[in-house]
Amino acid sequence: MFQRKYLSPEMQLRSRFGLLRRSVMKRVQTHAHLLFSHLLLALATAPFLIMPLACSSEAPPMSHLQQHRDSTALMTTYGVSKMISDSGIMRYRIIAEEWQLYDKTQPPRQEFPRGIFLERLDNNFKMDLYIIADSAWCYDQSLWRLKGKVYILDKENDTRFWTEELFWDMNEHRFYSNKYMRIRKPDREMEGNRFTANEQLTQYHIWQSKGFMPVPKEKKKTPSEPTMPPANE
């Protein structure tokens, strides 16, 4: 009889964003082909469009999108795969299905409404940490807000982290959350309702916490041989 294979929540997230990665790369290839085709078409029709525009003195009409630029995305891109530098070195890679850029809001922000897969790269440009979330916002290119099923895996320290909302301050190099969270390390597992930590997840503070930590077993003491009283002479 056919049995359905059970996937843990972690494997479900990896499977979901594995599909997202392949979908994004396919979109990137398709968009590059369409962009090249449109560029050729624009070059072919440009001489016929310049002459009528040069003879007109009327101002071009303004669309309703230009009148509300403070609440309208400057750019919306589908199938995104881009790199982010830190101190001039490529440290992060973002993969997302949709990317919206708002340049007139206060503060300026980027939105990833359809989920995000973010990788951190080490000095050898190999992934040592990744973050998955259902949606994300980035303010001033430094403060991240991730919502939904947020999951972090630090491969170097074998640390896993789950929560419903997470903030990441790239200037202060720290994570924090005011929602229920759970963190699991090789030797312990903790949960709580508030959390702050460094980017390496090696130093952290949890409020209203509970969890468990394995206690090393004590060695059994061998009973000592009874001492015999000295014999009377």
Give 124's pLDDT tier (boundaries 50, 70, 90).
Answer: confident
Residue for token pair 């903790």: 190
Min mean pLDDT across 71-80, 94-103, 149-158 is at 71-80
Tokens in use for 150?
A: 């947020």
Q: Classify domain 72-176 at the CATH superfamily level.
A: Lipopolysaccharide (LPS) transport protein A like domain (2.60.450.10)
Tell me the C-alpha distance between 199 and 174, whole Å: 5
Counting runs of H as helices and runs of E as strands, what totals does the chain give? Answer: 2, 14
Tell me the C-alpha distance between 10 and 131, whole Å: 12
Min mean pLDDT across 40-44, 73-77, 123-127, 193-197 is at 40-44
Query: Does residue 226 have a pLDDT over 70?
Result: no
Over range 193-203, report the average pLDDT.
89
Other CB atoms within a 10 A radius of the CB of residue 40 amount to 10
Tokens in use for 181?
A: 């969270």
Please tell me which residue, 1 or 60, carries the higher pLDDT value: 60
* Amino acid sitting at position 149: K
Dihedral of CA 19/20/21/24: which sign? positive
Summarize pLDDT for 33-47 with one digit per residue, the tens.
555 555 555 555 555
Tell me the C-alpha distance between 233 and 59, whole Å: 128
Query: Does residue 11 have a pLDDT over 70?
Result: no
Tell me the C-alpha distance between 26 and 114, whole Å: 17
Summarize pLDDT for 84-107 with one digit per residue, the tens.
887 778 888 999 999 999 988 888
Tell me the C-alpha distance between 88 and 36, whole Å: 30
State the DSSP H helix or E strand holding residue 145, giving kind and residue range, or none if neither.
strand 143-154
